[in-house]
Amino acid sequence: MQSWIPLVPESASSFSWQVDALYFYLSGVTLFFTLLISAVLIFFTVRYRRRTPYEIPRPIAGSHKLETLWTVIPFLIAMTMFGWGARLYFNQYKPPQNAIEVYVVGKQWMWKLQHATGQREINELHVPVGRRIKLIMTSEDVIHDFFVPAFRTKADVVPGRYTTLWFEATKPGKYHLFCAEYCGMNHSGMTGSIYVMEPREFDNWLSGNTGSSTPAAAGQQLFQTLGCASCHGANGEGGRGPTLAGLVGRDTPLEGGQTVRADEAYIRESILNPQAKIVAGFQPIMPTFQGQVTEDQLVQLIAFIKSLPGGSGATPGASPAASGPLPSPRASGSPTENIR
Amino acid sequence: MIESHATTQDIHGHPALQHHFENMEQQREAGTIGMWVFLVTELMFFGGMFLAYALYRNLYPAAFASASNHLDIVLGAVNTGVLIVSSFTMAMAVYFTQVGNRRPQIVCLVLTLILGLTFLGIKAVEYHDKYTDHLIPGRLIPSAPFGPAVQEEGQPLDHHKLHLLPGATLRQVEMFYWIYFAMTGMHALHMIIGAGLLTFLILYSIKGRFDPEYHSPVEIIGLYWHFVDIVWIFLFPLLYLLGRHFEHG
Amino acid sequence: MQPIESFEVPAPPKVNYINAQYGLKSWLLTKDHKRIALLYLASITFFFFIGGLYAMMIRLELLTPQGDLLQSTTYNKVFTQHGIIMIFFFLIPSIPATLGNFLIPMMIGAKDLAFPRINLLSWYIYLLGGIVTIYALLAGGVDTGWTFYTPFSTTFSNSYVVATGLGIFINGFSSILTGLNFIVTIHTMRAPGMTWFRMPLFLWSLYATSLIFILGTPVIAITILLMAFERLAGVGIFNPALGGDPVLFQHLFWFYSHPAVYIMVLPSMGVISELIANFSRKNIFGYSFVAFSSLAIAVFGFLVWGHHLFVASQSVYAGMIFSFLSFAVAIPSAIKVFNWTATLYKSSISYDTPMLYALGFIGLFTIGGMTGLFLASLALDVHLSDTYFVVAHFHYIMVGGALMGYLGGLHYWWPKISGRMYPEGWGRFSALVIFVGFNLTFLPQFIAGYLGMPRRYHAYPPEFQVFNVLSTAGASILGFGMLIPAIYFVWSMRYGRVAEANPWHLPGLEWRTQSPPPTENFEVTPIVTWEAYEFAPPEETEVVGKFGPEPERI
């Protein structure tokens, strides 16, 4: 179906056809009004062309009725466009449950990706079809943007913070990955591919691609070598420092009365700028690790902390190799992916 | 709005009447509205910096309190008083010009100028203190990069050392000083321009250029001066008075 | 139909503003708003050609998918500089500084703007900003994109960021002074009888534009300063490695740069109102609605900057608010389009070149404006952001809209400005060529954008090539089309038919003095007793719906 309609890219995610539908609606309305205005203009220009050199037409003051009509109707149409787009967007950005997490670090001019199960990729991402994939992304240098046209989704990748993007691929294949925020000399070269695979093929790929430890395991090592265990305990049980087990997603009371919901950004900040938020009841004695850990290592530490027993969110250890359909409203095989 | 005389240019009008205006009133009105519009642009200009201040103060409250504590509140308060009095003398100068009292008019203008220069002098002292304490952010002064001495726990209190409240880091304090220098520096620049304008006013007043018919330059420069004063009235509490309930640093 | 009154002007003395004084000094130290307008005309035309050369280089490079014509660093500088020159040194000053400067006093019956020396100063400031920027370009160029996003511009770029920023900063003061001058002039120097609602709609739109000038430009000024200091002095307001926030830069930048696009299009809309009314010999339908729409666009335009940050990690809820407001800001523009179209009903339309440009504007602005709605719609913008769809959208507005208005206005007022007529046949021909070339250039880019072609790419996957080839072909036609008026305008200054005071037979105040006008514009300060676009006496006004004619004025 794609080969002869060069109007839209391939539809390969659960969003794609939804976004395309909105696109066709807006295109239709645009075409309608453009043709309408053009036709009226052409008609008037011909019908009311000047016939004698000195003729003066009768002036017409205006019409409140018409003004109201052509204010209210466009406004209502605009509201349908707004509402539809907003609803789709809200769904698109709501972080999903039970998603496979992949950590993405963008840098000039390449993408570094690491699966929760340890596989590392450069400029490529292999994912299974029919599963929700959540990308947790940051940049090492300037702002980049992770853009997959076939999935109709993108998000800026910003240094100093984590941004997320999720999708559910619906069609196996190979799709473009572009950097879509100008980032310097080789911006046009910062491209790659997303490989969407059938579950069995993906399992094969996974097993053929081990070799590096999972980010959580690497994080555990760092936790020891950097000395975190001496205050937080080897398994995050706490001590001179707060307990880290089960931290993520938990509301944490701070010195000074505030409460903060612990997430990846909070952990990252606590490692780099520990004085910023002191947990209630603890001393401000944690040293800063600014300059001593790279973005990759931060990601690994965060993965380790998330993996500690009692931790919430998608358990990175959940193996996609487990067979059987996972609880998902769009279990593979449903007809919705084939809808265009 | 405008009195409608469909007259051609009043060639016998006031010597200060510009050729494209119908009469002095139109000229005065144009000048006043022009100055107000200009002040709106100034508001937007400073507004960007106020936004940055609000953002970072919200992000780094402890650092901002520590740094604010470390500013010299006495000098700041004196400067505030100086500017408020200078606005008063400026307003008096405008009044005397309107009623045609040249002597007091010139005296008030000169007083305003002196007070303005006093403000700048005190500011210079403050800036110099920052320089000696290595508080000038980044590499603005390449030979003296940011690096203040920090008050250690248990050491005798040294007012030259920066006391960091819990949760504050030097990096964040540097951000405060960046905003401090940007805002007070921009303000000082406007004061210098104001001082220059006042000098012109004084010279013209001595030459007798102004009279009750034509005094709009005094008025509109007075507007400018009041605006610069008001900006300082906002800057002073925001920069100097944060976290005063903490121990003096 | 009654015969048109010929607006008699006494036999013109030979002296006009052009020949009143000779010599370079009389031009470079002039206080005459008309001469200053010509000074601006020459300089912005110069910058337009430079920007056009950069455009040509872009389109030539993009003919093939590989980056084979220019090195990537060079290409990055070329598209950056194309944007900077076109936006800051051509589009923003274009209509206000040329047509606005020339016509505002004439349209309100004044002898000059409120502050003629500040007017001249604004031109010199513009020149200084231009010279500094050209220096930066020649010294090595800048490659950050015209948007200067941090931390690339502050920490990573090895190009002349600060010098270019300085040029733009200086240029901003030119805008501010122009806007200030216009506001004060319109408020205080209208001739007796020229009430706000008798003013031509061109003045309403210039007034709205001036509001944006004075409110928005200072914000970009401080943003550029902060960015430059960060780059020079290493303090991290925008640099995350130093505790700063790169997205703060985006907010500050777009707070000005979004209203800036309304600076670029509002004056053009004002010109269109003039052209539609005058070349159909009818008052604009719904005059006050069009007037208030201009103000509404200026105000709402300040509330939508976040739509440039939908994918930039702005919060979802902020996104919703900005999306809603972005749809709202489209409504006043739609109102204008409908009112212009309704004006043509039962009118008397002539096919002169200015009218052709006006008609082209309405069609192309409709497309440009409605494709903006795609980008205002959150879920679509996620896909379309930073693709060629955006590029096509804003070129439809900037070129298909703003530039068409500028060219139309230039043709329309040319006889008043120069005292000569341009050749009508060539005028119509070039309008047509420009229209065709323009559409061929930018229409394929919408499709390429939806298919996923990102912007600012100098090499791209081969499947996008067909669209790029069409686009480059169109650009060649467009470039050719725009050279023609450049030539015949210059030609007409010497060989064009001498124009009388009111060659189009129109009631506007600017046509009631000779062409070219004398330095003081009017022999006698006019007293205005007629409405805007009053071709026929007010008693004859027809009422449609529930809207009555204005009560008779004395």
Give residue-wise pLDDT tens across range C443-486: 999 999 999 999 999 999 999 999 999 999 999 999 999 999 99
Does residue B235 lie in a domain region? yes
Distance CA A298, CA A260 (A): 20
Distance CA C204, CA B20 (A): 22
**Cα separation values, C431 from A138, C96, C272, Å:** 49, 22, 15
Distance between start and end Cα atoms, chain B: 57
Dump pLDDT digits (tens) for C376-421: 999 999 999 999 999 999 999 999 999 999 999 999 999 999 999 9
Among the partner residues A9, A30, A82, nearest to C370 by beta-carbon distance: A30
Q: For residue C553, what pLDDT is reported?
A: 34
pLDDT band at C530 (very low <50, low <70, confident <90, very high): confident
Q: For residue A59, what pLDDT is reported?
A: 86
| Contacts with C245 from chain B: Cβ below 8 Å | 55
Q: How many CB pairs (< 8 A) connect A and C?
A: 323
| More confidently predicted of A164 and B144 | A164
Q: Averaged over A229-235, what is the pLDDT?
A: 85
The token pair that represents C269 in the structure block: 């809309």
CA–CA min distance C192, chain B (Å): 5
pLDDT beyond 70 at B150: yes
Does residue B96 lie in a domain region? yes
Residue B142 touches chain A, beta carbons under 8 Å: no
pLDDT beyond 80 at C544: no
Q: For residue B126, what pLDDT is reported?
A: 94
Helix (H) or strand (E) segment spanning residue B221: helix B216-240
Would the CB atoms of A284 and B168 count as touching at under 8 Å? no
Q: Averaged over C254-265, what is the pLDDT?
A: 96
**pTM summary value:** 0.88
Task: Write the DSSP symbol of residue A52.
Answer: S
C417 touches C480 (CB < 8 A): no
- Which residues of B, range 5-64, sit inside 8 Å of A by Cβ? 60, 62
Read off the amino acid at residue A127.
V
Q: For residue A335, what pLDDT is reported?
A: 36
| Contacts with B50 from chain C: Cβ below 8 Å | none
CA–CA min distance B61, chain A (Å): 9
For chain B, what is the total number of helices (H) and then of strands (E)?
6, 0
| Contacts with C293 from chain A: Cβ below 8 Å | none
Q: For residue B5, what pLDDT is reported?
A: 44
Residue A284 touches chain B, beta carbons under 8 Å: yes
Q: Averaged over B186-210, what is the pLDDT?
A: 94
| Contacts with C348 from chain A: Cβ below 8 Å | 48-51, 55-57
Distance CA A301, CA A293 (A): 10
pLDDT beyond 70 at C8: no
Residue B33 touches chain C, beta carbons under 8 Å: yes
Would the CB atoms of C347 and A48 count as touching at under 8 Å? yes
Q: For residue C344, what pLDDT is reported?
A: 95
Distance CA C538, CA C35 (A): 36
Interface test with A, best of C348, C351, C455 (most A CBs within 10 A): C348
| More confidently predicted of A198 and A116 | A198
- Provide the pairing of β-strand A163-168 with A124-128: unpaired
Q: For residue A323, what pLDDT is reported?
A: 34
Q: For residue C542, what pLDDT is reported?
A: 66
CA–CA min distance A247, chain B (Å): 21
Would the CB atoms of B168 and A275 count as touching at under 8 Å? yes
| Contacts with B62 from chain A: Cβ below 8 Å | 275
Q: Averaged over A196-213, what is the pLDDT?
A: 82
Q: For residue A210, what pLDDT is reported?
A: 66
The token pair that represents C405 in the structure block: 């208005």
Q: Averaged over A188-198, what is the pLDDT?
A: 94
- Of the candidates A314, A338, A326, which has an alpha carbon nearest to the alpha carbon of residue A130? A326
pLDDT beyond 70 at C5: no
Strands across the sheet containing A120-122: A120-122, A110-115, A100-107, A132-139, A163-168
Would the CB atoms of B172 and C524 count as touching at under 8 Å? no
Beta-carbon contacts of C491 under 8 Å, excluding residues fewer than 6 positions away, are C423
**Cα separation values, C547 from A13, A62, A67, C543, Å:** 53, 6, 10, 6
Count of domains observed in chain B? 1
Q: For residue B14, what pLDDT is reported?
A: 77
Dump pLDDT digits (tens) for C215-224: 999 999 989 9
- Which residues of B, range 38-67, sit inside 8 Å of C by Cβ? 38, 40-49, 51-52, 55-56, 60
Does residue B224 lie in a domain region? yes
Interface test with C, best of B45, B53, B177 (most C CBs within 10 A): B45
CA–CA min distance A97, chain B (Å): 30
Helix (H) or strand (E) segment spanning residue A173: strand A173-179
Question: Helices (DSSP H) in A94-153: which residue ranges?
Answer: none
User: 3-state SS of chain A: helix, strand, coil percent to 5?
Assistant: 35, 20, 45
CATH for C37-532, options being 1.10.10.10, 1.20.210.10, 3.60.21.10, 3.30.428.10: 1.20.210.10
Would the CB atoms of A255 and B169 count as touching at under 8 Å? no
| Contacts with B180 from chain C: Cβ below 8 Å | none
Among the partner residues A7, A30, A87, nearest to C367 by beta-carbon distance: A30
Q: For residue C548, what pLDDT is reported?
A: 43
| Contacts with A79 from chain C: Cβ below 8 Å | 327
Beta-carbon contacts of A338 under 8 Å, excluding residues fewer than 6 positions away, are none
Read off the amino acid at residue A101.
E
Q: For residue A32, what pLDDT is reported?
A: 96
Q: Averaged over B1-21, what is the pLDDT?
A: 61
| Contacts with B40 from chain C: Cβ below 8 Å | 214-215
Domain of residue B125 covers 24-240
Give the residue carrying structure tokens 């205002």: C376
Dump pLDDT digits (tens) for C115-174: 999 999 999 999 999 999 999 999 999 999 999 999 999 999 999 999 999 999 999 999
Question: Helices (DSSP H) in B72-166: which residue ranges?
Answer: 73-99, 102-132
Average pLDDT over chain A, rounded to an integer: 84
| Contacts with C188 from chain B: Cβ below 8 Å | 1-2, 26, 29-30, 33
pLDDT beyond 70 at B124: yes
| More confidently predicted of C538 and C261 | C261
What is the ipTM metric for this complex?
A: 0.90
pLDDT beyond 90 at B167: no
Classified as helix, coil or strand, C549 is: coil
Percent of chain C with pLDDT over 70: 95
- Of the candidates C485, C384, C362, which has an alpha carbon nearest to the alpha carbon of residue C430? C485
A-chain residue closest to C282, CA distance: A59
Q: For residue A289, what pLDDT is reported?
A: 83
pLDDT band at C353 (very low <50, low <70, confident <90, very high): very high
Q: For residue C1, what pLDDT is reported?
A: 40
Residue B138 touches chain C, beta carbons under 8 Å: yes
Q: Averaged over A306-315, what is the pLDDT?
A: 61
pLDDT beyond 80 at A319: no
Interface test with A, best of B64, B66, B169, B246 (most A CBs within 10 A): B169
CA–CA min distance C42, chain B (Å): 25
Q: For residue A57, what pLDDT is reported?
A: 87
Q: For residue A225, what pLDDT is reported?
A: 87
Average pLDDT over chain B, rounded to an integer: 87
B33 touches C210 (CB < 8 A): no
Interface test with C, best of B19, B27, B44, B174 (most C CBs within 10 A): B44
Q: For residue C421, what pLDDT is reported?
A: 95
- Of the candidates B230, B205, B231, which has an alpha carbon nearest to the alpha carbon of residue B218? B205
| More confidently predicted of C528 and B242 | C528
- Of the candidates B54, B248, B249, which has an alpha carbon nearest to the alpha carbon of residue B151? B249
User: 3-state SS of chain C: helix, strand, coil percent to 5?
Assistant: 70, 0, 30
Dump pLDDT digits (tens) for C204-249: 999 999 999 999 999 999 899 989 988 988 877 898 877 788 999 9
pLDDT beyond 90 at C76: yes
The token pair that represents A256 in the structure block: 């000074």
CA–CA min distance B67, chain C (Å): 16
Dump pLDDT digits (tens) for A44-100: 999 999 888 878 888 888 889 999 999 999 999 999 999 999 999 998 888 788 899
Q: For residue A237, what pLDDT is reported?
A: 84
Does residue B249 lie in a domain region? no
The token pair that represents C241 in the structure block: 């490695």
Q: For residue A329, what pLDDT is reported?
A: 35
Q: For residue A138, what pLDDT is reported?
A: 94
Does residue B65 lie in a domain region? yes
Give the residue carrying structure tokens 């539609």: C276
Would the CB atoms of B34 and C180 count as touching at under 8 Å? yes
CATH of the domain at B55: 1.20.120.80
Distance between start and end Cα atoms, chain A: 9
Would the CB atoms of A288 and B168 count as touching at under 8 Å? no
**Cα separation values, B33 from A285, B29, B37, B40, C12, Å:** 58, 6, 6, 11, 36
Residue B2 touches chain C, beta carbons under 8 Å: yes
Among the partner residues A55, A78, A182, nearest to C327 by beta-carbon distance: A78
Would the CB atoms of A284 and B166 count as touching at under 8 Å? yes
Does residue B5 lie in a domain region? no
The token pair that represents C33 in the structure block: 């708003």
Q: For residue C6, what pLDDT is reported?
A: 54
Average pLDDT over chain C, rounded to an integer: 92
Range of lowest pLDDT (B99-113, B204-218, C31-45, C318-332): B204-218
Q: For residue C140, what pLDDT is reported?
A: 93
A-chain residue closest to C450, CA distance: A8
CA–CA min distance C111, chain B (Å): 5
